[in-house]
């Protein structure tokens, strides 16, 4: 019988991580590499720093600078991963954006830009990756949801809608792809100290109100997602499918 820790190892696995140049995506890409996976780091920004850190770990890492809302992007991303590693075992849909404005003033442009990246691109890239995964009879699709997959929020109508859709799409993929050996789950980060929350943390009153509600008493950091993403990418989670795991310091428990 193998040691339970062996089931968390990702030796020989090939992963795609979007939004991997910094923040949550970079932390998750590094975690997968530390667990043994080779990584294609995809971002609209230069992911050279992520690549350098992963290669220092002795793993392969290729980068792709791409706008995931471009029509050709999903096929391009998957084709590069297959060219580099011969397969796709893990997809982490992390790339996303947020726009803030009152509901009554929210623009169609801000609606479309958020929805196109946060859910349409997630669907299309997951579809493209799954078409490769089914050939091997296995795969792990991990999408990044949000506290606003569970709650309404304020001043972020397209973000809330897109992240609620991520949860729904994750369930759908589990239902359709589970019989084909593919697990689809999501991670819902709590309030994380990233570029997306700079405005909230700069507002002293709002920052304190948020901290007062988090049982852990602090903002999350990108490193807080590393254990969860490795678990969901590994054989240790083979019977977990269609679920969205909140990594939130206890926020939803309040």
Q: Average of pLDDT values for 163-169?
A: 98
pLDDT tens digit string along 103-142? 999 999 999 999 999 999 999 999 999 999 999 999 999 9
Contacts of 100 (CB under 8 A, 6+ apart): 155, 156, 199
Q: What is the per-residue pLDDT for 1?
A: 57
Q: What is the per-residue pLDDT for 20?
A: 98
Residue 196's pLDDT band, with cuts at 50, 70 and 90, is confident
251 found inside a domain: no
Q: Is 191 an active-site residue? A: no
Burial class (CB in 10 A: 0-12, 13-18, 19+), 187: buried
For the question of whether the overall pTM of this predicted structure is more than 0.95, the answer is: yes
253 found inside a domain: no
Q: Average of pLDDT values for 21-39?
A: 98
Q: For residue 42, what are the domain limits?
A: 4-246
Residue 200's pLDDT band, with cuts at 50, 70 and 90, is confident
147 found inside a domain: yes
Q: What is the per-residue pLDDT for 2?
A: 74
254 found inside a domain: no
Q: Average of pLDDT values for 221-226?
A: 98
203 found inside a domain: yes
79 alpha-carbon distance from chain centroid: 20
Q: Average of pLDDT values for 70-80?
A: 98
Residue 193: give its domain's CATH number: 3.40.50.720
220 found inside a domain: yes
**14: pLDDT strictly greater than 60:** yes
Average predicted confidence (pLDDT) for the chain: 97
Q: Average of pLDDT values for 151-165?
A: 97
Count: domains in the chain: 1
67 found inside a domain: yes
Quickly list DSSP for 159-198. Answer: HHHHHHHHHHHHHHHHHHHGGGTEEEEEEEE-SB-SGGGH
**164: pLDDT strictly greater than 80:** yes
Q: What is the per-residue pLDDT for 237?
A: 98
pLDDT tens digit string along 37-71? 999 999 999 999 999 999 999 999 999 999 999 99
- The encoded tokens of residue 74 equal 């999903």
153 found inside a domain: yes
Residue in 150, 181, 177, 173 with CA at minimum distance from that of residue 163: 150
């Amino acid at each position: 019988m193998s040691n339970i820790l062996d089931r968390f190892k990702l030796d020989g696995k090939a992963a795609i991580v979007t939004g991997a140049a910094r923040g949550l995506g970079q932390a998750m890409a590094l975690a997968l590499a530390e667990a043994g996976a080779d990584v294609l780091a995809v971002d609209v920004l230069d992911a050279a720093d992520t690549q350098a850190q992963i290669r220092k770990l002795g793993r392969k890492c290729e980068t792709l600078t791409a706008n995931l809302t471009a029509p050709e992007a999903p096929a391009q991303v998957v084709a590069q991963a297959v060219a580099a590693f011969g397969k796709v075992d893990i997809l982490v849909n992390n790339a996303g954006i947020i726009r803030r404005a009152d509901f009554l003033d929210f623009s169609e442009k801000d609606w479309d830009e958020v929805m196109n990246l946060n859910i349409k691109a997630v669907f299309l890239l997951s579809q493209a990756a799954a078409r490769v995964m089914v050939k091997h009879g296995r795969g792990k699709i991990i999408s990044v949801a949000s506290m606003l997959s569970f709650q309404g929020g304020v001043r972020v109508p397209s973000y809330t809608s897109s992240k609620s859709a991520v949860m729904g799409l994750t369930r759908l993929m589990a239902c359709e792809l589970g019989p084909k050996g593919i697990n689809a789950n999501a991670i819902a980060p709590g309030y994380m100290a990233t570029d997306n929350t700079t405005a909230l943390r700069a507002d002293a009153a709002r920052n304190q109100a948020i901290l007062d509600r988090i049982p852990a008493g602090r903002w999350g950091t990108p490193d807080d997602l590393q254990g969860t993403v490795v678990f969901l990418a590994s054989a240790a989670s083979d019977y977990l499918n269609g679920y969205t795991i909140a990594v939130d310091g206890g926020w939803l428990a309040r």
